[in-house]
Structures are given as structure tokens and as C-alpha cells.
Amino acid sequence: MGVLFGTDGIRGEANKYPVNAEIAFLVGQAVTYLFKREGHRTRIIIGKDTRISGYMLESSLEAGITSMGGNPYLVGVLPTPGIAFITQSMRADAGIVVSASHNPYEDNGIKIFGKDGLKLSDREEEEIEDLVLHRKLLDKLPKPKDMGQAFRLEDAHGRYIVFLKNTFPKELSMEGMKIVLDTANGATYKVAPEVFFELGADIKVINNSPNGLNINDGCGSLYPEGLSQKVIEMGADCGFAFDGDGDRLIAVDELGNVLTGDHVLILCGKMLKDENRLKNRPDSGNRNE
């Protein structure tokens, strides 16, 4: 990609180009303009993780969106998948995540989803980049009466929790299970404990006191050693560690062994095979079972 967008949105050290207030403001304008259409006011979801720089970027995006005539909907701290979910659920035109994922607090970033909750295409990112870097929006600003308004979605947190609980099979229960959660002082610090608690698990939560500076600091999915130790110490059945924005997970078994994503995929594949749910896969007729 070009100067702004990398493989995972715009990312870098906070308060320095390109992750500063000026670029965030222009990106807000550009995203609003990109999805603008006649007779429709662009609606954009904005969510973030717990980094201290998130306030600056959130406010700058909000200002850029409203200045271009769009309506931003602020959901506050919410995992990246939750922001994608709210974007699709609200039938918004786009969703913006303010986060640098597993990076230390000094970094931050801007990731943009389309209305389907999926990452924008390369072409759309290139259009935004062109609008921002070549300052093409100066003569496209609406009149004051057509500027947008900002709204805060107070129930986004609860909506996402209900969605997550509904993905858990109703015939199963976590009742009686002892589970340790490491929320990395990040975006899952509220959502994850509530989901597991409401599903009946006996939970112990570590690293769930974000202060803006301790996200991913020796904890979470990059540093599962503390989780392993806590699982063994408590005699827990398992443990889960999230990264700063909640789109990455590392699991730990009852012995404190770390399970990678490959292990989790193997377990899921075995379960699907045991339940005979792989019979309709596209290549099922080309192999001997």
C-alpha cells in the first residue's frame, strides 16, 4: 500500500505522523466523503482500546466526520470484533477501530471496516489515502446547517455480550468450570469476564485494570506465562489470554501448557469431524474418508 495504510490499517507511534490528530481528522473526513451519497447521511461507528492516546484519536475522528456532514457513533472501549459486529448490526456505512492491537501503549492505529464488518478493499484504502495526502476535501465541506452530530451508543457493550452468548451452543454449559482470563489491560477487560460469568463459569480475571499505559505490558496473548502460572496455582480447568484489542487469543490447558492457534484449530476440526459436520465440504468427494 501507500504512505498511510499498511497491512493492518494505519499504525505507528501515537502523536507522531501518521498517527496524530491531524491525520485522524482528515481520515474521518475522507471516510465520510467516500461513503457519502445523495439523500443519506453517512453513519460511522468509532471504537477503541484502552490506550491513553485513544482519546485524542477518537475525538479527532469524530471532528472530521461531523465536519464532513457524517454522524459518528461512539461505542468507547470495545474489542475489535465487537466494533465490526456493531457496524454491521447498526447498518452503518463504516466502522473505525482506534487500536494498535498487541503493540505497546506508545503505539496506536486506525483500522477501518466497511458496512459488512470486513476490512476495506485496497482500492477503498487507496482512495482514502489519496483524499488525505493530497488534501482534496477542502472544497467539499458542507455548509454549517449540513454538518453532522455525534452520538454515544451506551448499550453497545451489552449488545455485543448478547451476541457472543448466542454463539455458545444452548445445549452446553460452563457451569462448574474454573477459568482464568487475562485481558491484557485492554479492550476485553469488561466484555470477556461478563460473557464467561453469564455462561456460568467460575472465573478469575488478571490484568483487567487498564490505566492507559499498561495495555499488553508483560501480559495478554504475547506473554501467557503469567496465565499459565495462575491456572496451575488455582487448579483451573483452562485459561484464555487476549491481546490489547481482543482479536487474538492464546489458550492454556489445566496443566499450564500453552495452546497455539494451530492447536485450537486442530481441536475444532476434530470436534467437527466427530460430529460429522465436515461431510459437505467442497472437496469431500475427492478424498477417501
Same-domain status, 148 and 172 = no
pLDDT at position 98 over 90: yes
Same-domain status, 68 and 181 = no
- pLDDT score for 8: 86
Range of the domain at 201: 168-274
Residue 283 domain flag? no
pLDDT at position 2 over 70: no
**Domain of residue 205, CATH code:** 3.40.120.10
- pLDDT score for 281: 59
Same-domain status, 98 and 173 = no
Residue 127 domain flag? yes
Same-domain status, 39 and 97 = yes
Question: What phi and psi, each to the nearest 5 degrees, are found at residue 112?
Answer: -120, 130
pLDDT at position 282 over 70: no
178-182/238-242 β-pairing: parallel
Model confidence, pTM:
0.92
Same-domain status, 125 and 195 = no
* Range 39-50 average pLDDT: 97
Out of 53, 60, 101, 221, the active site residue is: 101
- pLDDT score for 287: 44
Same-domain status, 137 and 40 = yes
CA distances in angstroms from 49 to 55, 165, 167, 230, listed in the order given: 10, 21, 23, 25
Among the residue ranges 25-29, 51-55, 257-261, the one predicted with the least confidence is 257-261
Q: Which of 156, 185, 207 is the endpoint of a domain? A: 156
Classify 86 as helix, strand or coil: helix
Same-domain status, 16 and 70 = yes
Residue 29 domain flag? yes
Residue 121 domain flag? yes
- pLDDT score for 288: 43
Mean pLDDT of the chain: 94
Residue 187 domain flag? yes
* Range 82-111 average pLDDT: 98
Split at pLDDT 50, 70, 90, the class of 289 is: very low
Residue 2 domain flag? no
Same-domain status, 146 and 180 = no
The enclosing H or E element of 225 equals helix 225-234
pLDDT at position 175 over 60: yes
**Bond before 169 cis per omega within 30 degrees:** no
Contact present, 229 and 216 (Cβ < 8 Å): no
Residues 6+ apart with CB under 8 A from 265: none
Q: Which of 131, 156, 181 is the endpoint of a domain? A: 156
- pLDDT score for 55: 98
Per the structure, the count of domains in the chain is 2
* Range 277-289 average pLDDT: 57
**Is 53 part of the annotated catalytic residue set?**
no
Residue 62 domain flag? yes
What whole-number distance in Å separates Cα of residue 168 and Cα of residue 170?
6
What whole-number distance in Å separates Cα of residue 60 and Cα of residue 64?
6
- pLDDT score for 173: 92
- pLDDT score for 284: 46
pLDDT at position 232 over 70: yes
- pLDDT score for 277: 84
* Range 224-246 average pLDDT: 98
**Bond before 72 cis per omega within 30 degrees:** no
- pLDDT score for 280: 63
* Range 150-154 average pLDDT: 96
Q: Identify any residues that bridge with 44 across adjacent strands, giving them in sequence order.
A: 72, 94
Cell 500500500 -> residue: 1
Same-domain status, 209 and 150 = no
Residue 282 domain flag? no
